[in-house]
Amino acid sequence: MSVPQKTSSTELGKSLSILSPIISRALFFGFLTNLLVLAPTVYMLQVYDRVVNSRSVETLMMLTMLVLSCYALMEFFDWARRSFLQAAGDRLDRELAPLVFSAAYRSEVDQFSSIDAAAAIKDLRTLKDFFSSPALIAMLDAPAAFLFLLLIFLIDSWLGVLALTVVLGQIVLAVIAQKVTQTQLGQAKKELVQANAYAASAMRNAEVAFAMGMKPVLHGLWISFQQNYLRLQAEASLRASVPAASSRLLQILQGSLILSLGVWLMLGGDFSGSAGLMLATTIIAARAVSPLTQLVGASKTIIATRAVYDRLGRLLASGPTNNTQMSLPPPSGRVDVETVSIVLPGASSPALKQISFQLEPGTSLGIIGPSSSGKSTLARLLVGIWRPTTGCVRLDGVDVAKWNKSELGPHIGYLPQDVELFDGTLAENISRFGAQDQNLVLDAIRRAGLEAWLESLESGLDTLLGDEGEILSGGLRQRVALARAIYGRPRLVVLDEPNANLDLDGDRALSKTLAELKLEGCTTIVVTHRKDVLTSLDRLLVLKDGFLLKEGLRPEICTTLGIKLDTGT
């Protein structure tokens, strides 16, 4: 599946355009803030020109009160600007969060997607935080720096040339500092990521490492990553020290250089301004340098944010459209698999090749075959998680991959091979975190054979399962996931290795569940490699290397393959 080359999407552009009025207000208050930055300079000029010569205390008090008012206004305008930028970030998050989550969620289950869903959510937060970051403030203040330079040129062209030279020197030094440290900092970041990942891996496997005496080796490897990180950080700091020191020196010399040039011009009769104006020029020059050097320092943040913007644009542009779909009646459970093939990413040949079969409502089918024959892939196609490369999977004549999942979901039950439970209560997990019907929850628990276990729980249905059901054993996780799959009595249930972690009691409960599903007319598909569950099924489908070898009634397939069951034939 090709990713669109556009770096933005209609939705992303629309969300940003909504922010235009808020950004305009922020720009307006930013302009006023930068204008009032000149208040201390004007105050100094007036004090030198009016108060010192006239020795008027009243004038001094009036000017002081005026400049204090300007300070208060400047802080208010700066607060207003930051508030509007914060509001813009919050508004962007509200507009984009549902779209990004939906697109990232879809990409996570799309076998052709190359988008990191977790990174997409993080990217949205990065874009939101950029609106209240110093980097954006520096971008908004940069035009004021050029206005200050223009003002210095208007005062005196030679002073303007010197101020511009200092500004350019500061920018060049900042760029050099970034260039000379870029390689070391990049490598240091990689070493830090490796160190953190290695430490996390060691902690996850702490029991194995402790039992087999691996801790000293693991500790030594982690220390090597950590030492490389510290070494590279130190090298980067050392390389940056020379341009950083030069930049500080130039910043310190700036005022003295401008002042000395101004006095020299004044002594030569080429500068007609006052001494106060000369001092004011040095202050204005410092104001001109500050936002530009900040902008250079924030360039990494700006470039990274631009990359975030592009990634979010591609994510939203490649996501499914939210076209309104016609509501469909609940399915009866008829399944039609029509010449389905699928090529997974990185594979040279299809995982499934021209698979076709039909199931009438209420039929139970077992999918068997050796490892890597395509059984789990077919299960994902049957419930619409993946889309076939060619062919179609239909439920009651409708392409299951295109059916609105919110509408279809309650009518489908799915138990994946790798059981996934969520951090929540037992009732929430079984009811799929939707509107809970306690009768349906208890019904699912009964049919999954979990009644006795439920009675043993102190908190009952309100028992917290922890992240990924961490408080449960593997067998209980599988049975809770089975209860979730059959919650609400769906019309199609697909179970992938539902008895992989079950004991004898669990196997019996599963067989009983399959029998009840059959009696209520639910179409049931079971992927399994254990033959004891086959006695509960009507038909069998045999896969090998992605091909459908055989499909038919269970007794016939068992006879053909020489499979002997404990009960039934």
48 falls within a domain: yes
Instruction: Choose among 168, 167, 165, 134: nearest CA to 300.
Output: 134
Does residue 327 lie within any of the structural domains? no
Q: Which residues face 543 on adjacent strands? A: 548
Read off the amino acid at residue 66: L
Side-chain-side CA neighbours of residue 105 (13 Å): 8
Specify whether 272 is located in the same domain as 313. no
Q: What is the pLDDT of residue 117?
A: 63
CB 369 within 8 A of CB 557: no
User: CA–CA distance from 72 to each of 36, 58, 109, 424, 498 (Å)?
Assistant: 10, 21, 54, 50, 69
Q: Is residue 478 part of a domain?
A: yes
How far apart are the C-alpha atoms of 416 and 386, rounded to whole Å? Answer: 13
**518 part of a folded domain:** yes
pLDDT band at 318 (very low <50, low <70, confident <90, very high): low
158 and 128 part of one domain: no
- Find tokens 């208040």 and name the residue: 39
**Of the residues 269, 288, 322, the one at which a domain ends:** 322
d(CA 277, CA 237): 40
More confident residue, 300 or 407: 407
36 contacts 70 by C-beta, under 8 angstroms: yes
* Domain membership flag for residue 328: no
pLDDT tens, 406-421? 888 889 999 998 888 8
Q: Are both 462 and 476 inside the same structural domain?
A: yes
- For residues 518 and 459, membership in a common domain is answered with yes
For residues 147-170, give the mean pLDDT.
81
Mean pLDDT of the chain: 81
Position 259 scores a pLDDT of: 72
Q: Which region, left, alpha or beta, applies to residue 199 given φ > 0 means left and ψ of -120 to 50 means alpha?
A: alpha
Write down the pLDDT at residue 4: 39
Question: Could you tell me the CATH number of the domain that includes residue 158?
Answer: 1.20.1560.10
The pLDDT of residue 2 is above 50: no
Q: Cβ distance 85 to 33 under 8 Å?
A: no
Whether the Cβ atoms of residue 191 and residue 225 lie closer than 8 Å to each other: yes
Structural domain count of the chain:
3
Q: Do 118 and 27 share a domain, yes or no?
A: yes
The predicted pLDDT at position 40 comes to: 81
Here the CATH number for the domain that contains residue 535 is 3.40.50.300
Q: Which residue has the higher pLDDT, 442 or 150?
A: 442
Check whether residue 152 and residue 56 sit in a common domain.
Answer: no
First to last CA, the chain: 45
What pLDDT sits at residue 264?
Answer: 82
Cα radius of gyration rounded to whole Å, the chain? 35
Question: Could you tell me the pLDDT band of residue 307, with boundaries at 50, 70 and 90?
Answer: confident
Distance CA 200, CA 390 (A): 41
Tell me if residue 8 falls in helix, strand or coil. Answer: coil
254, 288, 322 — which closes off a domain? 322
The pLDDT of 273-278, averaged and rounded, is 66
3-state class of 542 per DSSP?
Answer: strand
Q: Is residue 568 part of a domain?
A: no
161 plus 259 within the same structural domain: yes
What mean pLDDT comes out for the span 422-436?
87
pTM of the predicted model as reported, rounded to 2 decimal places: 0.66
Same domain, 94 and 242: no
Say if residue 7's pLDDT is above 50.
no
Residue 20: how many CB atoms within 10 A of its CB?
A: 10
Task: Quickly list H helices, 268-298.
Answer: 275-297
- Write out the two tokens for 488: 């609400």
Same domain, 120 and 264: no
**Domain identity same for 160 and 127:** no
Cα dihedral value 356, 360, 361, 366, nearest 10: -60
Residue 466, by phi and psi: left (phi above 0), alpha (psi -120 to 50) or beta? left
Is residue 3 in a domain? Answer: yes
Residue 139 within a domain: no
Token pair for 118: 């977790």
Q: Do residues 70 and 124 share a domain?
A: yes
Name the residue type at position 22: I
3-state secondary structure of 365: strand
Structural domain for 79, as ranges? 1-133+301-322
HEC per residue, 23-55: HHHHHHHHHHHHHHCCHHHHHHHHHHHHHHHHC
User: pLDDT exceeding 70 applies to what percent of the chain?
Assistant: 89
pLDDT at res. 109:
66
Identify whether residues 156 and 79 lie together within a single domain: no
CA gap 282, 258 in Å, rounded: 6
